[in-house]
Amino acid sequence: MNNYLNQDKKVNSLNTKGRIITFLFRLGKQLNKNKFYRVIFLPYLIFYRVFVEWVLGIELPLSVIAGKNLRIFHGQSLVVNPEVVIGENVTLRHSITIGNKSENGKCPIIGNNVDIGCNVIIIGDIKIGNNVIIGAGSVVVKNLESNSIYAGNPAKIIRKIK
């Protein structure tokens, strides 16, 4: 379990806030796995919501599926829908919104090795490929192909990465 809880520590080594958030997130996911743990550790689950969401201003629900090496820079105003799937080696910066278009809509699936700039909005039933860079201030409403750099509103391909 120690490896699971600390899997994001190395990529957040220079960012204490990111290290705290990812550790609390991983711990909360473990404690939220079954009903027995949920009942016993209810105070921790409440602490997580109050501290991470209200104090730090980050909505990272425990139902989010996130691969290893999740990196959070400047953890402010980060909003992730509970149904989002995040791959491995993903970087999230401040003021990002990842969610759905409507109350019952599907959420994005983010691939591996994705770098998401600040103030990015990613909404809808879309897939972001592997090895993608999304520039600051972009609005993503369509699928993004792998090995590419995107920017703009709406996000358009800037160039391919080899």
The residues, any chain, with a CB within 8 Å of residue 74's CB and separated by 6 or more, are 17, 93, 94, 118
Helix (H, G, I), strand (E, B) or coil at 46: helix
In the chain, the amino acid numbered 79 is V
Catalytic status, residue 74? no
Catalytic residue among 9, 49, 74, 94: 94
Q: Which of 45, 63, 57, 62 is nearest to 17 (CA)?
A: 57
Catalytic residue numbers read 94
